[in-house]
Amino acid sequence: MAKVTAFLMTIVMFLFPSWNIPEAPSVPESTENEYTCVFVHGLGGWGEDSLIYSIVPYWGMLGGDAMRYLQARGFDCCAADVNPSASAWDRACELYAQLTGTRTDYGAEHSARFGHKRFGKDYSRHPLVREFSAEAKIHLLGHSFGGATVLQFVDLMTNGSKSELAASPEDVSGLFTGGKKDWLYSVTMLAAPMNGTTAYDLKEIVPKEKSATFPERLVVAMCALASVPPLDGRDKQDCAAYDMTIDGAAQLNKRLRLPDSLYYFSVPCCTVTQTADGTYEALPSTEPLFVASANRLGRYTTTTPEGTVVDASWLPNDGLVNTISAVAPFGAKTTQLDRNHVRPGVWNIFPTYEGDHMSLMGGFMKNNNVRLFYVDLLTLLYSL
């Protein structure tokens, strides 16, 4: 999926080589912290360690590399590169290895239970950050499924894993020992399906419908391609396609215990408007790729196999993620963002961003200037 996306994006960038993008101010001279901001991509995505990133930067897309731009403005930031379709657990293990400059360890118990190799890539020669510790904390930002990856990472950094400690006490990864919540400072979710998405229902429904349109079949095919699990014979529940379902996300959220000491933010997106019959349809500004899925999700209700009722509150969406799911994990403490009184241990919710699922990345087929957005966001994080 990443290679296909890069090819399509290269064509678009060739046809539309430049846009007039306004400059943004630099990081303020007076800040409370200047910790590294670590960006984690979503399903089917890629980070700066991937060759594709030099062709099509995931963070910035059509508008150019947002990481380089933010670095030039004085912000310390980097883009992690984790498996595009593996589970939140496996991606969190890869993130830890990149940040600490160690060999990826998926855990003896986890890898045996889900049927894949325990160890992965070794980052000892090129860690993502120069230093990572309680003295050199990080801000974590996750787009789409990168959100679940970040939350799983925070949980393991804080609480560790009793099952991994029991399975391999002699050579357990530092991630599974826990006790590292003071290595982290803030968490930001960007259009992240923290409670799953009904888009995965479309993979089952649309192919069976004779009346399904070509645009509907196209977006379903792309989602299916991006969701192909790693080809290592693993259990199907150890992949992003399961964690992103509503029931899969609910199971993940039940396991997570997030510390109250961190700052939590979310930026939900919406690209639809309500119609006279109460359903929702895509706004004219929606990228063509997401129009069909936005319309489908805007009228789809159901009850999941495990009993979650997907009612009208789920209809607003960004073309791939239901807006309600991107606000905060269900049951968590929330408050609308007040920049003058940001509270830790509570989800501080940004105003809903009008845009489709890739708008915060800079646009997949339509250029969207996100430079000012990220300068504003990182300035807020540095002010905490």
Residue with tokens 């995505």: 45
Q: Which of 27-36, 345-354, 357-366 has the lowest mean pLDDT?
A: 27-36
To the question of pTM greater than 0.85 for the whole model, the response is yes
Amino acid at 14: F
- Give the whole-angstrom CA distance, residue 323 versus residue 289: 18
* Mean per-residue pLDDT over the chain, rounded: 91
Average pLDDT over residues 209-218: 83
Q: Which residues contact 297 (CB under 8 A, 6 or more apart)?
A: 198, 199, 202, 272, 280, 314, 315, 317, 319, 320, 322
Q: Is the pLDDT of residue 7 over 70?
A: no
Question: Residue 331: how many CB atoms within 10 A of its CB?
Answer: 9
Q: Which two tokens stand for residue 306?
A: 């495990």
Question: Residue 138: how many CB atoms within 10 A of its CB?
Answer: 21
pLDDT at 18: 38
Residue with tokens 């160890």: 119
DSSP one-letter code for 297: H
Is residue 369 within 8 Å of 361, Cβ to Cβ?
no
- Nearest of 157, 31, 77, 49 to residue 374 by alpha carbon: 77
Residue with tokens 């929330």: 334
- Nearest of 161, 217, 149 to residue 187 by alpha carbon: 149
- Give the whole-angstrom CA distance, residue 327 versus residue 259: 18
- Nearest of 59, 82, 53 to residue 71 by alpha carbon: 59
Q: 3-class SS at 119?
A: strand
- Nearest of 303, 286, 302 to residue 294 by alpha carbon: 286
Q: Is the pLDDT of residue 124 over 70?
A: yes
DSSP one-letter code for 317: B
pLDDT at 26: 66
- Nearest of 263, 260, 238 to residue 251 by alpha carbon: 238
- Give the whole-angstrom CA distance, residue 355 versus residue 367: 12
pLDDT at 29: 65
pLDDT at 31: 76
Is residue 231 within 8 Å of 308, Cβ to Cβ?
no
Average pLDDT over residues 47-52: 93
Confidence of residue 43 (pLDDT cuts 50, 70, 90): very high
- Give the whole-angstrom CA distance, residue 266 versus residue 131: 26
